[in-house]
Structure formats: structure tokens, C-alpha cells
Amino acid sequence: MSAPAREIRFLATRSSGEVSALLIRPRDAFALYVFSHGAGAGMRHVFMEEFSQALAKHGVATFRYHFPYMEAGRRAPSPRPVLLKTVRAAVHAAGEAAPDLPRFAGGKSMGGRMTSMAAAAESLPEIRGLVFVGFPLHPAGRESTDRGDHLADVSVPLLFLQGTRDKLAQLDLLRPIVSPLDCHATLHEVEGADHGFSVLKRSGRTDADVMRELAETSAAWMRDRA
């Protein structure tokens, strides 16, 4: 049975206005994950819903939210300053929605990167760590590490959930970024998964198997830091 979601609205920025959010809080919640979406799909995307429900089974509440461009039904992401301000506003709104739960933040692809950029610029209040669900290190076919330069400036622990077939994050480029961060960062490689965490049939695994792995890994990591 799916955990129920409570709809919430909060002010993203003065210029952008309010955006929508969904709070799922299981009865046994021990932590809250402020969960932002990727560039091309909003908070109601099937992956966002399935991951939130999977986390709920492990005692992790989620606060999913829209960036202003997605709220307005536009395809092109909002300017970066708006995205970063929205991350900070979402962290604050999540704290108001569940003030008793230790908070973590992050997101799928672009949402995770915007969260880390916000945290690198200025610490996110009361956030215990960041969880990246497919960190987008570079565009497909254009290998680079520039998008990871700011990670060394993030002061809280980091968890990277990365598929070994992810074309937006070549692992031979990501590993050298994570390694110098020592115990500050954890890289969990999901064998055979792509950027959307789908696996090939010949792998002998299903997407549901991968979802369980993602949720179990994230929940255990958060529990150690809650």
C-alpha cells in the first residue's frame, strides 16, 4: 500500500511566487529527505514517486517539490539563481512541515546538483547530508569534471548513487572527485543501471530490484547520520 502524500505550497522566490510540494511521512519516520526533481521531469514523475514510496518503507519521509519553471509548465529550467533560492526555500519549508525530523537534501540529476551548489555557496540550515540520485557530472558524450568542482566546498557528508551505465557521469571521472573527500563522501555504484536507474534484461535484475537497492542504501546511510 502506498503511503499518502500531503500537498503543500511554499514561496520559492519573490519573483517566481509559490510552488507545489508533496510530503510523505511514514509513521516510523526517523529522517526527512528534501527531494528535488531533474531537469525534464517534475516531482510527480514515476521515478520520484517510486523512490519516495520506497524510502517510506524504510522510515524516511520525503518532501518533493517543484522548481518554478516546472510549476509554470515550462520546459526550460529557471535561471540558476532562482533554482538555488528555491532549494533554500524548500529546505526551510520542509523544516516547518516536519520540524522534529533530522533533514537531508538532494535530488535526481539536476536537482541534486542545484542542491549541492546551494550548499557550497552557503550551508543549508540543519541539513545532515546530501544524497545525489544520479549526479550529472557532464552532458552525454562531453566528458568533463567542471560540474563537480564545487563539491569540495560542501561541508556536510555526501552520498552518490550512480549507475555504472550512466552516460552523464563517467565513473572514471567521478571516482577521483569523490576519493579526495575521504570519509566526507560515499560513492555507491549500482551495477548495470543507467542515468534513470533502469537495467538491461540480460543483467538478471529488474528496475524494482534497483529501486530497493537505492532505498535501502539511502536509508541506512541517513540512519547513521540522523
Contact at 8 Å (CB) between 39 and 77? yes
pLDDT at residue 106, as a whole number: 98
Direct distance between the N- and C-terminal alpha carbons of the chain, in angstroms, rounded to an integer: 26
Q: Digits of tens for pLDDT over the chain (226 positions)?
A: 788 999 999 999 999 999 999 999 999 999 999 999 999 999 999 999 999 999 999 999 999 999 999 999 999 999 999 999 999 999 999 999 999 999 999 999 999 999 999 999 999 999 999 999 999 999 988 889 999 999 999 999 999 999 999 999 999 999 999 998 877 999 999 999 999 999 998 888 999 999 999 999 999 999 999 9
pLDDT at 71 (0 to 100): 97
pLDDT at 97: 97
- Cell numbers linked to 180: 579526495
Query: What is the structure's pLDDT at 2?
Result: 81
Q: Which residue has cell 552516460? A: 167
Select from 153, 92, 90 the least CA-distant residue to 117: 153
pLDDT at 197 (0 to 100): 96
pLDDT at 191: 95
Cell of 214: 537505492
d(CA 65, CA 63): 7
What span, in angstroms and rounded, lies between the C-alpha atoms of 70 and 139? 21
Please tell me the predicted confidence (pLDDT) of residue 204: 86
Residue 196: phi and psi, rounded to 5, are -90, 5
Q: How much is the pLDDT for 212?
A: 97
Q: Which residues of 163-199 are buried (b: 16+ CB within 10 A; e: fewer)?
A: bebbebbebeebeebbeeeeeebbbeebebbbbbbeb
- Across the chain, the runs of DSSP E, i.e. the strands, are 5-13, 17-24, 31-36, 60-65, 103-108, 127-133, 158-163, 185-190
pLDDT of residue 141: 86
Return the pLDDT at 26. Answer: 97
Q: What is the pLDDT of residue 158?
A: 97
What contacts 96, CB < 8 A, 6 or more positions away? none
What does the pLDDT read at residue 211?
A: 97
Rounded Cα distance, 133 and 36, in Å: 10
DSSP string, 105-120: EEEETHHHHHHHHHHH
